[in-house]
Structure 1
Amino acid sequence: MLTLFELFGFILLVIETLIGMVGNGFIAIVNCIDWHRSRKLSPADMILSCLSLFRFAFHAVTLQIAIFKLFFVDPFLMLKLNIAYDFSWLFLNTTSLWFAAWLSVLYCVKIANFSHPHFLQMKRRFPGLVPWLLLGTVVFSAITTTVAITGSIIVSKCNPFESHLNNSSDSGINTTNSCEFLTLPYIFPNLFPFMIFLFSSILLLTSLWRHKNLLRNSVSDASREVHLNAIKALASFSILYVTNVFVAILPIVLSRMGINDNGVHFIFLNVIAAYSSGHALILIFISPKLKQESVRILTR
């Protein structure tokens, strides 16, 4: 029997995932149309296309997880579905975090203005490395996800989402040391892109803020407003990204403490879905091409 809190969380999750799927699907379609017309993609559009496609799939998987957790209680069915969904969810979430981190780095090297030789070298070389970074991200995420899920199957009590293989207390197998080791593949893949994103975002925000102050007495209010809007958009995305990383890690910590409540789980899913949906809207808002296309569609 569903509780009122679980029903509210499920309805909110459906709304967030639908917004995220529409927003990310829109970004992917616009970039695919541009690629079809020009037969080439810029590094930024390449990252945006991959990010949007993976997030679209992530929202679809998240919604399916919520539906099966609430409405399907057959333990034999859930055993197989949980393994498949855990792998899909972790792989798509980790890959999306990496893509968002690379997007932040790309914006940093394109927009930020620093005279350090290493930064200037990165500014020249990074756009050409984007295709290889995207491919490497997918391979790395697949490897770490496989290691994490395989470990949780071998030692079922270590599954950070739910002990879907054996939840009974009569196992009698002491897996404490193994659990401490097997939770690492769940956490570290999220920490690496988080550190890259945080460092590049701080550099970009610092450069934008310094540039805005330098232009205070030399340009019009409209130009300063453009810089201020860019700072607000980047700061908003940074807050969403940091929140998403901590919320993705928090269930692992709670599960180690024996807390596996459906209501708490729905809170985490809602926050993560809100991050992905919110970032898609921010990307549409700050991109002139995407903003123009969205306005054209809405005013038809």
Structure 2
Amino acid sequence: MPTLFELFGFVLLLIETLTGMVGNGFIAIVNCIDWFRSRKLSSADMILSCLSLFRFAFHAVMIQVAIFNLFLVNPSLMLKLNIAYDSSSVFLNTTSLWFAAWLSVLYCVKITNFSHPLFLQMKRRFPGLVPWLLLGTVVFSAITTTVAITGSIIVSKCNLLDSHLNNNNDSAINTTSSCKFLILLYIFPNLFPFTIFLFSSILLLTSLWRHKNLLRNSARDVSTKVHLNAIKALASFSVLYVTNVFVGNLSIVFSRMGIYDIGVHFIFLNVMAAYSSGHALILIFISPKLKQESVKIKSKQH
């Protein structure tokens, strides 16, 4: 029987998940309609569309995981479902982290002004590389997910072997150590997009802050306000992104080390859902096109 804390975590997760699915679904639909009308899609809208679709699917998987963990009590069925949901969630989350990193890089090369030849070349070529980067990201995430899930099965077999080793000889110690290192198969793939995102976001925030100060010195209040809002939005998303990566890796460590508590698990899920939902709302708020479409929908409802 679920406790009151677990039910509260489930209800909160349900609200965050529905918010995220509506927000990300809205972004994907608006971009798809715009693509259908104009027969073309900008690099930013292409990344946003893919990011929103994968996040929508991630939210759908997440709420199913929560339902089965909370209400399903059949251990054998749970084992099979956990493997399937682990594969789906790891793949969707890793891909979404990469998409968000490419979005940050795209904004960085578009907005940031540096005179370095390498940066100028990247500024010219990066938008054209976006479709290939998105495709490569999906393939890379699929490969790393397969390796990670295979490693998870190996860990389970190793743990089963360790349970039959009653003596503390070197063989048992080496087996346990090698199994624990397999946790890195889950963590390493997320560190690459995290590093790219962090580096590009720092460059972008620094550039926006310097430009805001220049505008303030020239007394252009309207432009200063726009840049300040952009800085706040980017800073908020950066905090959400970093928190999501940290909590996701912590959840993996807890799970693979056999430290499992459903209440703590719901805390992890809620933080990850808040990241995806929060970023969708930020994107709708700062994008003129998305904001205009949301206002149209509200006016039609009234």
Query: Which of the five TM-score ranges fits, normalised by the shorter chain?
Result: over 0.9
Residue aligning to 2:280: 280
Matched residues, number: 293
Q: Are the counterparts in 2 of residues 190 and 245 from structure 1 also a CA contact under 8 Å?
A: yes
Distance 1:171 1:31, change over 3 A: farther
Shift of 1:226: 0.3
Q: Are the counterparts in 2 of residues 27 and 52 from structure 1 also a CA contact under 8 Å?
A: yes
- The one-letter amino acid paired with 2:247 is V
Tell me the distance in 2 between the aligned counterparts of 1:180 and 1:259: 13
Q: Are the counterparts in 2 of residues 28 and 48 from structure 1 also a CA contact under 8 Å?
A: yes
Residue aligning to 1:191: 191
State the SS of the aligned residue for 1:216: helix
Residue aligning to 2:141: 141
Shift of 1:179: 1.8
Residue aligning to 2:169: none
In structure 2, list runs of 5 or more residues that go unmatched. 167-171
Tell me the distance in 2 between the aligned counterparts of 1:221 and 1:176: 62
Residue aligning to 1:77: 77
Kindly indicate whether residue 127 of structure 2 is the aligned counterpart of residue 127 of structure 1: yes
Tell me the distance in 2 between the aligned counterparts of 1:235 and 1:89: 26
Q: Are the counterparts in 2 of residues 157 and 179 from structure 1 also a CA contact under 8 Å?
A: no
- The one-letter amino acid paired with 2:85 is Y
Shift of 1:172: 3.7
Residue aligning to 2:103: 103
TM-score, structure 1 normalization: 0.94
State the SS of the aligned residue for 1:113: coil
CA deviations on 1:238-289 (whole Å, 9 max, x unpaired) are 0000000000011233345542111111000000000000000000011000
Residue aligning to 1:67: 67
Tell me the distance in 2 between the aligned counterparts of 1:273 and 1:128: 31
In structure 1, list runs of 5 or more residues that go unmatched. none
Q: Are the counterparts in 2 of residues 6 and 266 from structure 1 also a CA contact under 8 Å?
A: yes
Kindly indicate whether residue 254 of structure 2 is the aligned counterpart of residue 254 of structure 1: yes
State the SS of the aligned residue for 1:299: helix
RMSD over equivalenced CA pairs, Å? 1.7
Residue aligning to 2:177: 177
Residue aligning to 1:17: 17
Runs of 4+ in 1 over 3 A off after TM superposition: 168-175, 255-258
Tell me the distance in 2 between the aligned counterparts of 1:290 and 1:57: 20
Tell me the distance in 2 between the aligned counterparts of 1:253 and 1:192: 18
Residue aligning to 1:27: 27
Q: Are the counterparts in 2 of residues 254 and 260 from structure 1 also a CA contact under 8 Å?
A: yes
Structure number having the greater helix percentage: 2
TM-score, structure 2 normalization: 0.93
Q: Are the counterparts in 1 of residues 154 and 179 from structure 2 also a CA contact under 8 Å?
A: no
- The one-letter amino acid paired with 2:218 is S
Tell me the distance in 1 between the aligned counterparts of 2:138 and 2:66: 25
